[in-house]
Structure 1
């Protein structure tokens, strides 16, 4: 069967067996939407890294972006409240007119 599975990272991740693994990663942490998203991202990174060791060709830009994504996601906390607090602190510093209370935060 002809497929785009090895043509680019998007097609690789969206191929059924790989998308299924992403779904399993999402379901792993039940109702914690933060960990579900983080798990999905990490599983996608693992999938593309595995693919790159096989038939999936990545450009130099994609290889660098993938390594940067892994570093960024590995550096994230598993605590969604700490993540939110850290992001709010950073955003308040960068956007002086930001008022979290306007967004129910």
Structure 2
């Protein structure tokens, strides 16, 4: 892969029925398969928060995939924030609930 591939880092907050439906596990699998760095966690307000970092086209595809999520999820909204620093670690992790 070329060093000139545009990269981006985006933090997303996903709302709807996204907890208790394997959303975090699904996100880890999908993001890792796409070669993205970052993390995902549940938030105490019932949303799921994630940071995706990698080639811009793969980050955009991951955000689109999150609009559906795993089969039991019912996503009602996604907010994207591009003011996030890239994660310190490589790979994709599941973090504890915030």
Q: TM-score, normalised by structure 2?
A: 0.29
Q: Which has the higher contact order (CA 8 A, sep 6+)?
A: 2
Greater helix share, structure number: 1
Q: TM-score, normalised by structure 1?
A: 0.28
Greater strand share, structure number: 2
Which structure has the bigger radius of gyration? 1
